[in-house]
């Protein structure tokens, strides 16, 4: 039997990887990454909607900062790999999963030791979570956020060849030197 658990904060909170390594040293880890600027917009949009529905004002600076820092994937993966062998980690790219859900699902099945099952849920093309509007960014802000993430994204793509920055709208033209971290 294979069981799993999904929590988006596991990679972000620095105390989680060492605790997880102690509790489940043989775990297989799945990580789903998306364009960090788009992830920021999505995360902030979710907070804005929740606060508005609760009759409260815009997100605090702490919420915005947290949403921003969660997009520094390379740093988070480096911390995770201090506690787990790279062979225990499958890095998936959100945009690739949207383009080829069956192929990415089969890759996940193989990683988990399930082989090529050929099984896919009937809902594979449906969004199962509530969709929130994304926070709007003017071109200048988008450029600043892209610049903020550029070094981390470059290091991520150089160290994790499964990341294709051409699939990330804000990093399509980023020059990546593979094999360099």
Helix axis angle, 139-159 to 73-81, nearest 10°: 30
Nearest to 35 by CA among 176, 131, 156, 117: 156
Q: Is residue 4 situated within a structural domain?
A: no
pLDDT of residue 122: 81
Answer yes or no: is 176 within a domain. no
Query: How many domains does one find in the chain?
Result: 1
pTM: 0.86
Asked whether residue 159 is domain-assigned, the answer is yes
8 domain residue, yes or no: no
Q: Is position 1 within any domain?
A: no
Higher pLDDT, 84 or 136: 84
Tell me the CATH number at 72: 3.40.50.300
In a domain, 114, yes or no: yes
Q: Return the minimum-mean-pLDDT range out of 22-26, 55-59, 165-169.
A: 55-59
Cα Rg of the chain, angstroms = 17
* pLDDT over 70, % of the chain: 86
Instruction: Please tell me the predicted confidence (pLDDT) of residue 105.
Output: 92
- Per-residue pLDDT tens over the stretch 47-63: 565 656 667 766 677 87
**Over the stretch 122-158, which tens digit does the pLDDT of each residue have?**
888 777 665 666 778 899 999 999 999 999 999 999 9
96-101 mean pLDDT: 93
Residue span of the structural domain in which 144 resides: 16-167
Residue 162 falls inside a structural domain: yes
């Amino acid at each position: 039997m294979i069981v799993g658990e999904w929590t988006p904060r596991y990679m972000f909170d620095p105390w989680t990887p060492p605790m997880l390594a102690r509790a489940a040293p043989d775990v297989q880890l799945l990580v789903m990454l998306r364009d960090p600027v788009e992830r920021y917009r999505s995360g902030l949009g979710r907070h804005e909607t929740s606060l508005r529905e609760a009759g409260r004002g815009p997100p605090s600076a702490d919420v915005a900062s947290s949403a921003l820092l969660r997009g520094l994937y390379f740093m988070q993966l480096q911390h995770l790999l201090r506690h787990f062998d790279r062979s225990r980690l499958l890095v998936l790219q959100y945009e690739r999963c949207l383009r080829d859900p069956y192929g990415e699902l089969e890759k996940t099945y193989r990683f988990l030791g399930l082989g090529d099952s050929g099984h896919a849920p009937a809902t594979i093309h449906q969004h199962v979570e509530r969709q929130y509007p994304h926070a709007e960014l003017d071109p200048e802000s988008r450029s600043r956020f892209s610049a903020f993430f550029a070094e981390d994204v470059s290091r991520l793509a150089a160290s994790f060849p499964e990341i294709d920055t051409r699939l990330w709208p804000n990093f399509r033209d980023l020059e990546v030197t593979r094999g360099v971290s």
